[in-house]
Chains A and B, each alone.
Chain A
């Protein structure tokens, strides 16, 4: 199948949506499909073969942060050309309401179009972006995918119609053979925390409050904290001895994530809320490190309700200390959780997720019908168009 994918955010800066698009494109290519990705990017020479750049993105304040987007007549022309030359069977746009390439692509093309919604939005923003014109662009989308139940709920509430939920994938191969960092966990026990140290909803303080109790039960335990943000304030409550067993890594490069996760005897995700999925839990499970997480709805779902990882009562340090101490004392249960975790994460491997996305493509495409440039809704364009007939199907 020939697939065109549109990524609205800059390819140069790693982010949720562009990482998703890159993983999806590579998984589809491994399955034998032809893939071309259209994305804004500044440095052409660093791009993988399958990416076509629309040029340097512009930094715009959008969605509460500065986003690097691409728009304007030149971008629009590039899209038309890309659609015309691509002869795609399916066009897949991501985050279709972002004021960037995706919404332009919906304008410039017609035929089998799939759109994936990544974030959930509140009503007022949704109403604003769903202006009449954006709505017309949305009308061309044949199939909608939401990456989480939260994103789907927003969609159903504010736009007519439903969406198929297909979660994010994990590149299991990148994590399953990860080696721990030198000297970790060694003969000692270790706990890994990953995330912004100064963002309350990541829950570092819940873990820090539980830590003295954990160390009373297991004096040889160490705590490894990785992620941007300054956690010094949170760590102030620790005694000097406890503090001495904490290692701060600061921000880590994406390629080091796997070995950090593998360095833990256990991985703890004490997030207090606002999580719609929990990809890092899956990444930890892929390295074979047992996971303990707060009992948020999304986390419990990922952990298969206790079968693939343990949960503790959200924001309850006492409960966290107990669950962690018990698991540190029980190597047999750790080994079991490690095996269960690895088999659970296989369900979220990109190869599986990409197969489900291909099912969506197949459910809207007809062989012989290609994505083509849309010469706007002119009356003249309507003349001389016959009915479409399916050509000989080949699967």
Chain B
């Protein structure tokens, strides 16, 4: 075999290896995006459950009860994991929680009920997890898009039929009076 053909074969082998290496990277990143998105979704569901339970605590004033119950219900019955509606109902729930739980005095009053107090602790915990989850998902999306935008990756369609990932744009504010 001539040396030229060896060079050609080596070059082709390298190109194949490189493309499969990039494809493997993309595959892992898509996997990471899926898992972080599901984790975020799981925490959102948990928050919905906590808010619904809060609304059902005996002795909570009826106005709060309706606000929390309604928003939690909307979030819990929605099927889609990620969609504009999902973002919308979760933002509404966040908004209502922030509005109703921003006064330390009022929160202290709610905390007189032991069950409600435990639920508020859980609500703080899950809100912090949601904030982190969203950040970690956004990190994964950014890492993935960086590779998907490379010329060779686009030219050889290494991303396959997977849609370009989109970050979940959630309002992750935590009600201020929940801290301490």
Report which A residues bind B (CB closer than 8 A): 110-112, 136, 139-140, 142-144, 160-162, 164, 359-360, 362-367, 369, 374, 376-379, 381-382, 385, 387-388, 390, 393, 395
Report which B residues bind A (CB closer than 8 A): 20-25, 27-29, 31-32, 34-36, 38-43, 45-46, 125, 128-130, 132-133, 135-136, 139-140, 142-143, 146
- Picked from A160, A369, A377, A381, the residue with its CB within 8 Å of the CB of B38 is A369
Question: Given A139-B25, A378-B24, do A360 and B35 touch, yes or no (CB 8 Å)?
Answer: no
Residues of B within 8 A of A143 (CB): 132, 136
Cα distance A377–B35 when bound, in Å?
18
Residues of A within 8 A of B43 (CB): 362-363
Cα distance A385–B30 when bound, in Å?
12
Q: Are A382 and B25 in contact (CB under 8 A)?
A: no
- Picked from A160, A374, A381, A385, the residue with its CB within 8 Å of the CB of B142 is A160
Q: Are B136 and A377 in contact (CB under 8 A)?
A: no
Question: Given A363-B129, A377-B20, do A111 and B39 touch, yes or no (CB 8 Å)?
Answer: no
Q: Are A364 and B36 in contact (CB under 8 A)?
A: yes
Question: Given A374-B28, A377-B27, do A363 and B39 touch, yes or no (CB 8 Å)?
Answer: yes
Residues of B within 8 A of A360 (CB): 132
Residue with the greatest number of chain B CB neighbours at <10 A, chosen from A112, A144, A161, A362: A362
- Picked from B29, B36, B128, B139, the residue with its CB within 8 Å of the CB of A162 is B139
Cα distance A231–B119 when bound, in Å?
55
* Pairs across A and B, CB under 8 Å, 21 listed: A110-B31, A136-B25, A139-B29, A142-B36, A143-B136, A144-B139, A160-B142, A363-B43, A363-B129, A364-B35, A364-B136, A366-B38, A369-B35, A376-B24, A378-B20, A379-B23, A379-B24, A385-B27, A388-B34, A388-B35, A390-B38
Residue with the greatest number of chain A CB neighbours at <10 A, chosen from B21, B35, B129, B130: B35
Q: Are A390 and B42 in contact (CB under 8 A)?
A: yes
Q: Are B132 and A377 in contact (CB under 8 A)?
A: no
Q: Are A379 and B20 in contact (CB under 8 A)?
A: yes
Cα distance A142–B125 when bound, in Å?
20
Q: Are A387 and B35 in contact (CB under 8 A)?
A: no
Residue with the greatest number of chain B CB neighbours at <10 A, chosen from A162, A360, A363, A381: A363
CB distance from B33 to the nearest CB of A (A): 9
Contacts A162-B135, A360-B132, A390-B38 known; 5 new A-B pairs at CB < 8 A: A110-B31, A377-B21, A385-B27, A393-B42, A393-B45
- Tell me the nearest residue of chain B to A111, going by C-beta: B35
